[in-house]
Amino acid sequence: MADDPGAIVGRGYDALVERYLEWTDQTDNDPRMRFLARFAAELADGAEVLELGCGAGVPATARLSQRFRVTGVDVSAAQIERARSLVPSATLMVADIGELDLADGSFDGVAAFYVLGHVQRKRLDTLLGRIASWLRPGGWFVASFGVADEDGWTGDWLGVPMFFSSFPPARNRELVVAAGLAIVADELVTAAEDGSAVTFQWILACRS
């Protein structure tokens, strides 16, 4: 369907490759690389890492690829094309993270930076369950979650139509635990995006 949330998000990010890179670079107090470092510290060199919504691959995919074998997935073909030039060592694929068909226990780590807020929240429990199943026992998950009680919002974002959806922090936490993941860090961090304060919930969790 042309106007389902996935299509809106894919089209939006296709149009935003350079704009998003410039914009994300200007965010103040962004904890993304701090949480990436905590996640990376739990993994051995050469670990298999799946990155959901990898975008154009910088800075996160590039950093992860310095130590790990990274598979990056993004619904936007234009973002993946840019990532192929910026992070040639990563395996990159165009796909909707809700539709991925991956083998159980095939990754040591799964990272999802600033992507889950684009997934319809009614699909979040299924997606988190799949993420847990893709992890080997003892594998690690790091993600940012939106915190607004928002079933689905479509509107202008960075000059393109965009879709967002999220639960409040307590529900995000419940869903991660229900997926079979043990939370070891859970922080609300407010960053300044274009001068506006925006809060995300950052979770680091382990599959037992």
49: contact with ligand SAM by CB under 6 A: no
d(CA 98, CA 130): 9
- Give the number of residues written for the chain: 208
Q: Which is nearer to ligand SAM, 9 or 175 (CB)?
A: 9
Count of CB atoms situated within 10 Å of the CB of 131: 27
Q: Which is nearer to ligand SAM, 82 or 207 (CB)?
A: 82
Q: Which is nearer to ligand SAM, 83 or 138 (CB)?
A: 83
Site for ligand SAM in 96-135 (CB under 6 A): 96-98, 113-115, 118-119
Q: Helix 169-178 to helix 124-134 angle, to the nearest 10 degrees?
A: 40
Q: Which is nearer to ligand SAM, 190 or 208 (CB)?
A: 190
d(CA 31, CA 172): 18
Contact segment (CB under 6 A) with ligand SAM among 34-42, 95-103, 147-155, 193-201 equals: 95-103
Radius of gyration of the chain (CA): 16
With CA atoms as reference, report the closest residue to 36 among 14, 54, 11, 17.
Answer: 54
Site for ligand SAM in 145-204 (CB under 6 A): none
Q: Which residues bind ligand SAM (CB under 6 A)?
A: 6, 9, 13, 24, 32, 53-55, 60, 73-76, 79, 96-98, 113-115, 118-119
